[in-house]
Amino acid sequence: MMSRLLKPLRHDGMANSVQPPASKVGQGGAKQPQHTFLQRLGPGLITGAADDDPSGIATYSQAGAQFGFALLWTMWFSLPLMTAIQEICARLGRTTGLGIAANLKKAYSKYVAFSVVALLCVANLFNLGADISAMGAAAQLVSGGSAVAYGALFGGLSLFLQILIPYRRYVRYLRWLTWSLLAYVLTAFLVRVQWSAAFRSMALPAVSLDVNYLMALVGVLGTTISPYLFFWQTSEEAEEVRVRRTEAPLRKKPWQAAEQFRRIALDTRVGMVISNFVAFFIILTTGATLHATGTPSVIASSADAAKALEPLAGKLAFWLFACGIVGTGLLAVPVLAGSAAYAVAELLHWPGSLEYHARGAPKFYGVLAAAMLGGVGLNLAGIDPIRALFWAAVVNGIVAVPVMFLIMLMSGNQHIVGPFLLPLHLRIGGWIATVAMLLATLFFASSTVWHGLR
């Protein structure tokens, strides 16, 4: 792995220039502080965990309830693709010290950047509405009361914490929230699973040309590889550069590249493995229970999946699944709102950072508040979770492909990344992921039209 990460530097003629000047040693140069394994995890871990948001849980639950173990193979298929594109995003942020929106505006016309960011904000708004609604419904299942009131409470709490707590402390809290994902792993061991059948489905995929199967496949891929994750991880790497005095964009301190690329690779791969690992167990649990008993028709949201589990798997499985929805929502909702706020602030050259006090970046926090309150507003309006998921999937598909295409172009542009071009395995993985999402989006669009004409 070390040789793969260093090879592009030598190939680009950076073998000598990545060495720090003597004056830099001990001042952000070659001698970096040693960190433990957990301390090396940050943006990638949080991004991977945020991928399993309540909307994603609903999609995975529907896939398991409707098709049993038949879609388990998608987890090992999507893992290298999402890992590649997220690692590419992280490298872009660390190399340039800018998020995707700022890099788009720098590399292309402002109209391209404005169009992409506008679509991102629309997709995030629908995702926020669906996630807040699911969190409220899950809390209602556990404690009773009003789902709408719980949703508003969770949205307000997330907004309050993002405004009140500086970035470095807030990230630590988000890192701890990733442990909520274990609820879905534990739930799988509370139900009766035919492990031999599950592993057989992973090793020997039974791909079907049935329209419903293909639609479920597109949904799983679409919720796994989402634009808000691209924007968030890129912006968080740029944020790390801003808040740490010893660090700077790699174009300014190229001698930090080898160590930072190793950290990014570790952080991203751990985060994406956890994301897919949890998604695997959600499909496994719902496939072993809801599909086995023929109850997929009741799954309209992640909360419905939790409710349907109770008579089949017991009170503890239900409680873990429902509480997991709230925990993952508290992790994902700030990421959705934050990615929109970072993108808009970068686009309009506003001061924008979760490290700043609200008075120091009022427009940035204004966008953050608008996104969060918009999601709460959709919840108060009684948004249909399935309709919100559908439109979020449509807009995410529209945004993901061009954004991935532009990310790949920017990461191969020396005017943007300098000598830090992508190594071969990331170029291949990134382009395969882009083509896979293009095909999935085209199929989703054609299937939607076909169903509409019937």
pLDDT of 360: 82
When the candidates are 3.40.140.10, 3.40.1410.10, 1.20.1740.10, 3.30.1700.10, the CATH number that belongs to 46-383 is 1.20.1740.10
pLDDT of 25: 42
Print the SS3 string covering 252-306.
CCHHHHHHHHHHHHHHHHHHHHHHHHHHHHHHHHHHHHHHCCCCHHHCCCHHHHH
Both tokens assigned to 176: 């701890």
In 3D space, the residue among 93, 353, 357 whose CA is nearest the CA of residue 247 turns out to be 93
Both tokens assigned to 435: 């083509």
Overall residue count recorded for the chain in this entry: 454
DSSP letter, residue 27: T
**Any idea where the domains of the chain sit in the sequence?**
46-383
DSSP letter, residue 354: T
pLDDT of 15: 37
In 3D space, the residue among 161, 134, 139 whose CA is nearest the CA of residue 150 turns out to be 139
Predicted confidence pLDDT, tens digits, the chain (454 residues) = 333 333 333 333 343 344 445 444 444 444 455 566 666 677 888 888 888 888 888 888 888 888 889 899 999 889 999 999 999 999 999 999 999 999 999 888 888 899 999 989 988 888 888 888 888 888 888 888 888 898 899 888 888 888 888 766 776 777 777 777 777 788 778 778 888 888 898 888 887 777 778 778 887 887 888 899 999 999 989 988 887 777 888 888 888 889 999 999 999 999 999 999 989 988 998 888 877 766 655 566 666 666 666 655 667 777 777 777 888 888 888 889 889 999 999 999 898 877 788 888 889 999 999 999 998 888 888 766 666 666 666 677 778 889 999 999 999 999 999 899 999 999 999 999 999 888 887 877 776 666 655 5
pLDDT of 10: 35
| Separation of alpha carbons 13 and 11, rounded Å | 5
Q: Which residue has the tokens 């492990």?
A: 195
- Helices (H) and strands (E) counted in the chain, each on its own, are 19, 0
pLDDT of 303: 66
* DSSP conformation letters of 4-17: HHHHHHHHTT-TTT
